[in-house]
Amino acid sequence: MQKPPEFPLPQMNRLNGLLVRPVGRAVALRLGLTRRDWRRANLVIPAVLLGVLLSWAGRVGAQTPPAPAEPAAPAPAVRPAPEELTEAIARLDAAASSRNLRDVMRLFSRNFTHADGLTYDTLSTALQRFWQPYRSLTYQTVLDSWERDGNALVANTTTTITGTRDINGRIVTLNSVMSTRQRYENGRIVSQSVLSERTEVSSGDFPPSVQVQLPAQVLVGQSFDFDVIVQEPLGDRLLLGAAIEETVNAQGYLSAAPLNLELLSAGGLFKTGQAPALPSDRWITGVLVREDGIVQHTRRLQVVDDPSLITTPTPAPRRRLPRLR
């Protein structure tokens, strides 16, 4: 596996951290970190992109119940889909859940293209790397809508991935949800694009319950806020955190960018970002570390140049606070 690129938080130009201080040894001791753990925490915490690679995504329950979600509007009824489409989706879920790479790749065209830059070969490689450390993974896909386009079928789906892995004796749970659009020709996926994505990874006895605020889309050059807010009172416990912004591309599926953890003086991460000048997709990740658990949350932010593409209103960014030197 290729070495992850160095991308420390202090060098980020687009996301500006507010109210933070570097982590010291005294803080590490209060969190129960060993000298080795402390060094690792200050060097690298990978931003897990987690290969929600096949337009799949899912949810894994953390060891603490998540904050209750707002009631969702009833989904519109989907007209009956062709059997060839429903069977292909079912086969893909079954093959992925059993981590049968050969059967999964049989459902993709050799000429497969992905809006993120993945090809048939890089998709296969990324899947192998994603699956390897997990004890178990479960994929479930719901067909949201479909249409015919000549001899092809175009489907919008929402997929869930649930999984667990062991890192140095600590159980890590995966909770990810992704909506995608794929084009089927002759029973195989020939192209795919991601419509929305969110992934949460947690570990520990009581990982922090968080509320995440990030617009789904922003206009080029527009400011936006990224907040990861802890729902429980901190009391006298310390909270470490970091955030990172990455360009969505094929390389991002094959490597993980490191983060520098910092001591937070507020109950979460509060960041202000600036969208780039050209349309693109970005991965925005926040990590929070507390003595009783860790949570990492990644969302996809779409940067567009057409206001009609904004599907949800973007709140006005808050007034910037002065940065600590």
- The token duo for 295 is 């949570």
Residues 87 and 158 in one domain: yes
The answer to whether residue 72 is domain-embedded is no
Element (H, E) at 251: helix 250-254
Residues 2 and 104 in one domain: no
The answer to whether residue 287 is domain-embedded is yes
How far is Cα 52 from Cα 95, in angstroms, rounded to an integer?
15
CATH number, domain containing residue 129: 3.10.450.50
CATH number, domain containing residue 289: 2.60.40.2410
What's the pTM? 0.76
**How does pLDDT run across 266-283, given as a tens digit for each residue?**
899 999 999 999 999 999
Mean pLDDT of the chain: 79
Whether residue 230 has pLDDT greater than 80: yes
Whether residue 219 has pLDDT greater than 90: yes
How far is Cα 287 from Cα 47, in angstroms, rounded to an integer?
8
Provide φ and ψ at 87, rounded to 5°. -65, -40
The answer to whether residue 198 is domain-embedded is yes
Whether residue 12 has pLDDT greater than 60: no
Residues 57 and 199 in one domain: yes
The answer to whether residue 323 is domain-embedded is no
Residues 146 and 192 in one domain: yes
- The token duo for 64 is 């603490």
Residues 195 and 208 in one domain: no
The whole domain housing 144 covers: 51-63+81-203
In this predicted structure, what is the pLDDT of residue 150? 94
In this predicted structure, what is the pLDDT of residue 312? 75
CA distances to 22, 106, 173, 195 from 198, rounded to whole Å, are: 28, 27, 14, 11
**How does pLDDT run across 46-97, given as a tens digit for each residue?**
333 323 223 232 222 233 334 444 555 555 667 899 999 999 999 999 999 9
